Each structure stands twice: as C-alpha cells, then as structure tokens.
Amino acid sequence: MYEVFSLYKTEISYTVITVFALLVIQFLLKKAAHRVGKRSEINFTRTRLIFKYINILILILAFFSLSLAWGMDLTDISLIFSSVFAVIGVALFAIWSILSNITSGIILFFSFPYKIGDKIKIHDKDIPIEAIIEDIKAFHLHLRTLDGELITYPNNLILQKAVSLVEKDARLDEGKSSL
C-alpha cells in the first residue's frame, strides 16, 4: 500500500485537493442558489432543480480536473469532450425545444417576477390566457384557467410573450402581514 501511495503521491494529492475544492465550490453555489430562492420567495422544488444543474456542472468539472491530475493529455481530454458535445449537440439540435425550455427554466428561476398562486394574463394575439400559476417546472408552467382547465405552457414561450399580473397570491400577502 505504501508503494502505491509513494508511486502516485502527486496524483493522489491533486485528487484530494481537487475533490475538496469542488465540494467547496458546490457548497457555495448551492448556498447562493438557496439564498436567491429564499429572497425571491421561490418554491423549494424549483431551487432543487437548480441544485441538480449545479451537480451536473461539478461532475463535468471533476472529470476534467481529475483527468488532468492523473496525467491525461489535454488533447485527449479535448477530443473526448468535443466528441461527447458533438453527439449531444446533434441530439439536442433534433430536439432543440427541450434545451430552450431548460435554459428558460433557469432564467425563470432567477428573474421571473410571478410566483405560484399568482393570477397572470399572457397577452398572446392568437389565444390570450388568464390563469393562476399552479407550478413552475423545468420545461413548462402549469396554469389553471378560471374554468378549471389545466394548461401546460412552455417556459420558452412565457419569456417571449407579454405577461401581466392580474392578482397577487393572497396567501403570500397574509403571511407577510402576520410576520
């Protein structure tokens, strides 16, 4: 065992430092996302979705960093990443709306001014929609119309259309006044 450690002492040291650094970065990113979610009164399920994105980012960084630490050449790593991203790019180009909706979901997490329970009006020239926001998912919003109809509205479209607040969720206002 001592022989293995002495033979790979540098690589093991880099691995420990890299893992520790990535765990700290992951902790800080999750704490920042949690703080933004709490300050903006965002539902915790949406915050957990951002946590998943942070985990994926940390895994990619870990693979890249550890590959370098264990002696993989930069050209080999770039070949692997370019091949993987080429395959992913072709797959996502075929279904580009999924990527668009995920990106829109991240943007909505940080900058969408409306909350679950708010009644909004989407000013679409073809079909204007007035509904209450029931849930905000990674790909779409769940809207409940005044007639009780459930509408699944894509996140990328909500960013493209004019949206106005008809009525703020009364439960949130009551909760603030009791504090």
Return the amino acid letter for 105.
Answer: G
- Count other Cβ atoms within 10 Å, centred on residue 13: 11
Instruction: Write out pLDDT tens, residues 68-125.
Output: 888 888 888 888 888 888 887 777 676 777 778 888 888 887 887 888 888 999 998 8
Q: For residues 119 and 132, is the Cβ–Cβ distance under 8 A?
A: yes
DSSP 33-80: HHHHHHHTT--HHHHHHHHHHHHHHHHHHHHHHHHHHTT--HHHHHHH
- Indicate if the pLDDT at residue 131 is higher than 90: yes
Cα radius of gyration rounded to whole Å, the chain: 22
pLDDT for position 113: 83
pLDDT at 88: 78
How high is the pLDDT of residue 168? Answer: 82
Output the pTM of the full model. 0.55
Confidence (pLDDT) at 179: 45
> How does strand 162-167 pair with strand 150-154?
unpaired
DSSP of 93-107, one letter per residue?
HHTHHHHHHHHHHHH
pLDDT, average across residues 36-62: 87
* CA dist., res. 100 & res. 133, Å (int): 20
Is a pLDDT exceeding 70 seen at residue 178? Answer: no
Fold for the domain defined by 114-177:
SH3 type barrels. (2.30.30)
Buried/exposed code over 37-59 (b: 16+ C-beta within 10 A; e: otherwise): beeeebeeebbebbbebbeeebe
List the chain domain ranges: 2-94, 114-177
Give the per-residue pLDDT at 170: 52
pLDDT 10s digits, 142-176: 999 989 999 999 888 888 888 888 888 755 554 44
Res 44: pLDDT: 81
